Amino acid sequence: MSLPIFLIGARGCGKTTVGVALSQALGYAFTDTDHHLQLSTQRSVAEIVAAEGWEGFRARETESLRAVTAPRTVIATGGGMILAEENCRFMREQGQVIWLSASPEVLAERLQSEPEAAQRPTLTGRPIADEMSDVLRERAHLYQAAAHHQVNAMQSPERVVEEILLSLSLARAS
Ligand SMILES: Nc1ncnc2c1ncn2[C@@H]1O[C@H](COP(=O)(O)OP(=O)(O)OP(=O)(O)O)[C@@H](O)[C@H]1O
Ligand SMILES: O=C(O)C1=C[C@@H](O)[C@@H](O)[C@H](O)C1
Ligand SMILES: [Mg+2]
């Protein structure tokens, strides 16, 4: 199998952490849409949002998804990638889509210990635990509908990688 693998999920679910390890396990390249945007614009997410609003950021994010998509590549996507239906359609058509799911409490705990405010400006203006509950309430059905496979991301990164490899091999066998 050489199709791209897209990792989706909320901020802090481990798309970047797990994506790097998964790409190494498969001998694939690794890329990250947030990182690509940062390099191509020389601006952080917070700077893009300040200059162009979330709408401007989302349009750039769609371009970024298309620019990084390639065979034999694991792609960590921005947490809001699934907000645009065209992005969901594109990912499902181009490759395998994996949702790394985690509870709002676990996400908030991870984000609190490593906030990275420049890449994760507030989405709601609310405290982080409330924000993650709001975000999952709004987006869980979108992650679910976009994904070919859902994996529990509240395990060690090694275990998450194993589960992804298992779902992909089961999908190939069926
Ligand atoms: N399975 C895991 N177990 C424990 N900690 C984890 C796990 N996965 C990621 N983390 C930690 O959680 C934080 C966020 O992880 P990471 O940056 O990979 O998330 P992300 O999904 O890429 O977030 P974003 O959407 O903001 O880019 C990091 O500090 C990372 O070390
Ligand atoms: O969940 C979101 O909407 C976001 C997640 C991050 O990956 C970045 O793409 C950005 O901070 C927006
Ligand atoms: Mg990331």
Print pLDDT tens along the chain (174 aa): 699 999 999 999 999 999 999 999 999 999 999 999 999 999 999 999 999 999 999 999 999 999 999 999 999 999 999 999 999 999 999 999 999 999 999 999 999 998 788 999 999 999 999 999 999 999 999 999 999 999 999 999 999 999 999 999 976 765
Ligand 2: distance of its center to the CA of 39 in Å? 16
Q: Is 15 in the pocket of ligand 1 (CB under 6 A)?
A: yes
3-class SS of residue 106:
helix
Q: Is 9 in the pocket of ligand 2 (CB under 6 A)?
A: no
The ipTM, to two decimals, is 0.98
Task: Flag whether 16 is marked binding.
Answer: yes
Ligand 1: distance of its center to the CA of 46 in Å? 19
Q: Is 17 in the pocket of ligand 1 (CB under 6 A)?
A: yes
Task: Flag whether 120 is marked binding.
Answer: yes
Please report the sign of the dihedral spanned by the C-alpha atoms of residue 124, residue 128, residue 129, residue 132. positive
